Structure 1
C-alpha cells in the first residue's frame, strides 16, 4: 500500500522526533536530507560534531545516530507510514548512515506506534533511584525490545554489577589524568543553567543532577574539577540495577543497530514507569571494555551500560532546530 505524498509538516515532525534522541554529551551528531522526488530521508553523520578524544572510533556517534533513526521510524509508523531502512547504503560515502523509504503505508497495529508518547518523555535521569527491584516481567520485556533490533540486553548478577562499577571507577581515574578528554567534556557540559542565549546542544547545569556521595552508582561526573553553582550532593542507590546492551559483532552497522536497540529499550522502559541513565566511560578505554561484558552470556561486544530504576525523571536538554539539521532536495 502506497502512502500519500509526504508534505513538509510531516517531514518536520519526523525530524523533530529523531533529534529528541540521546547522544554522547548531547552533541547531536546527525544531519538529514529529504528527497522530494522519491520520498526518502537520508541520515548522515555530522563529523563536525564528533568527539575525537572521548569517542575516537565514532562508535558513540553511530549509537546516537542509530537512536535518532529509531525515533524517526516510530514517528513514521505513528503517522501511518512503513519505513523501509537500508543501513550504510553507499560504500563510497561512509557518512551516509541510513536511507529510509517512507512511501509505503504502515499497518495500523504496528507496535512501534505505541512508543511515540515516550519520545518526548525520555530524558537521562542523573538523580538517585529508589532501591526497589524491577519486576522480572519488565526486565524480560526490555530484553525482547533489544532482540527485536538485533541486539542483546543482559542484566548481570550482583558479582558482575560490582565488577562493572569497579571498571567505571577505573575509567573515571584514567579520565581524571587525561586533560584532553576532560577538556573535550568541558566543551559540551556547562556549569551554568540554560538561558535564552544558551547553545542548542550540550548538557546544561540543570540536567546534571546532584553530586554523588560515595561511588555506589555508575553515574558519570561530567564536571570533575569544576564548580556548579547551587548543585548539591546526595547518596545514590546502593544496589543499582544495571543492564548491558551489546552485539555479536563490532562494526559500523552493529553500532547503528545497537543505537536503535538502545532507544527502543529506553522508550519501552519509559512507558513502564522506569527512568534511566547511561554510562560509556569503561567502554571508552579499549583495555577496560573487554572486561565489561558478562562472561556468562553470549554477548561479545558491550555497546552501552544502562542504569535503570524508579526515581525522578531527568531534565530535558536543548535540541538543535530542524532547519539546522535538515536539507530539502
Structure 2
C-alpha cells in the first residue's frame, strides 16, 4: 500500500470534522498529533479533561475519543482518502488510543462518505419528542450500523424501559447527594443562557433544554442545581423510545469500538430524520450499570443508552478550535 501525502491544511479539515463528535459533558477529551514525516495521525486521550469522579476508569473518555475517530473516518472517506486504523497501538503509551494511516484500501468508503452531511447536523436534543414510533425499518438500520462496528444495538421491551428510567432516577438521586459529582458537573456547565463566557467546551445553558413539567425527564438535567433564566417548561414523552448500545466485553478496545458504533448510529439516525439524545447516568455508577442490561438480550455490557424519536434538534454546542487539539510534528517518526 502506498501512503497518501497529506498537507497540514487537509489534516486540519479532517480534524475539524472529527471534533464535532459528542463527549461526556462536552469535555472534548481528545488530542491529535500529525506526524508529517510518516503521514500518520495519532489520537490521544487528554487526561486533563477526564471526569475523575463519574468516569474514574475513563470509559466515557474512550467513547468520546472513539466517536471523534469515527467522524475522522467519515471525513477521510468523503475526501477520497482510504485509511488504516490501529487501536491501542503501543502499550507503553496508554493515552495513545489510535493511529490513522492514510494508506488503506478502498472498502466501505462510499457508505461512510454518505454520512458526511450528518456530521455537522448531529445534535443532542434535550427537548421533548413526539409520540410517533420510530419505524422498525429505521431501527433495523441503526442496529445494522452498530454491527458494522462490532457492537449491538437492542430495543428493550416496555418493562425494561421502565427499569432503565428507574435507574436514571436512582442515578440522579446519587448525584444530588454527592458533592464531588455536583462540583464536577458544575465545572463543565454554564448557567448563563445564550453565553458561554468565551468557553469552547462544556454544556451551555442554551443546550439544557426545558424543565419537565410532568414528572422526571428522560434526559440529564444540567440545570437541576440552580435556576437558569428563561429556561421554560415542557411535557416530555411518557414512554421514551430507548435503545441500548452494548459490547460482549468491557475492555478498552471494546470501549473504542463502542464509541465508533455510537457515532455511526447517531449519524445514521440524523440522516434518517431522527432526533437523538444520550443517557449515561446509570452507567456511571458500577452498582447500577449491570442492571441496565436487558437480561433477554445477548449484550454483555451496556455502553450507552440512546433516546430516539421525532422532535427538535438541539442547539449546537461550542467546540475547541483545531489549533488547540491538533499538533503537527515535522520530524520523521515511526508509525
Q: State the TM bucket, normalised to the shorter chain.
A: over 0.9
5 Å matches for 1:42-191?
Answer: 42-104=42-104, 106=106, 110-191=110-191
Residue deviations 1:150-188, cap 9 Å, x none?
A: 111000011100110011101111111111101100110
**Cα 1:215–1:300 shift into 2, 3 Å:** farther
Cα RMSD (Å)? 1.4
Q: Indicate the larger mover: 210-219 or 141-150.
A: 210-219
- The CA deviation at 1:239 is 1.3
Equivalent pair of 2:63/2:256 in contact (CA under 8 Å)? yes
Distance 2:51 2:148 in 1: 29
| 1:315 counterpart SS class | coil
| 2:278 counterpart SS class | strand
Q: Tell me the equivalent position of 1:285.
A: 285
| 2:103 counterpart SS class | strand
5 Å matches for 1:217-256?
Answer: 217-256=217-256
Equivalent pair of 1:74/1:112 in contact (CA under 8 Å)? yes
Distance 1:245 1:167 in 2: 16
- The CA deviation at 1:189 is 1.0
Residue deviations 1:205-264, cap 9 Å, x none?
A: 111110112345421111222110110111101110000001000011111110000000
Q: Indicate the larger mover: 52-61 or 258-267.
A: 52-61
Normalised by the length of structure 2, the TM-score is: 0.95
Q: Tell me the equivalent position of 2:296.
A: 296
| 1:308 counterpart SS class | strand
Distance 1:105 1:85 in 2: 11
Normalised by the length of structure 1, the TM-score is: 0.97
Q: Tell me the equivalent position of 1:19.
A: 19
Q: Indicate the larger mover: 86-95 or 185-194.
A: 185-194
Equivalent pair of 1:219/1:279 in contact (CA under 8 Å)? yes
Q: Tell me the equivalent position of 1:262.
A: 262
Q: Tell me the equivalent position of 2:306.
A: 306
**Structure 1: where are the runs of 5+ without partners?**
none
Distance 1:53 1:161 in 2: 27
**2:8 is aligned with 1:8:** yes
5 Å matches for 1:198-209?
Answer: 198-209=198-209
**Cα 1:135–1:108 shift into 2, 3 Å:** closer
| 1:278 counterpart SS class | strand
| 1:153 counterpart SS class | strand
Q: Indicate the larger mover: 208-217 or 9-18.
A: 208-217
| 1:110 counterpart SS class | helix
Equivalent pair of 1:171/1:285 in contact (CA under 8 Å)? yes
Equivalent pair of 1:186/1:223 in contact (CA under 8 Å)? no
Distance 1:319 1:107 in 2: 31
- The CA deviation at 1:196 is 7.7
Q: Tell me the equivalent position of 1:320.
A: 320
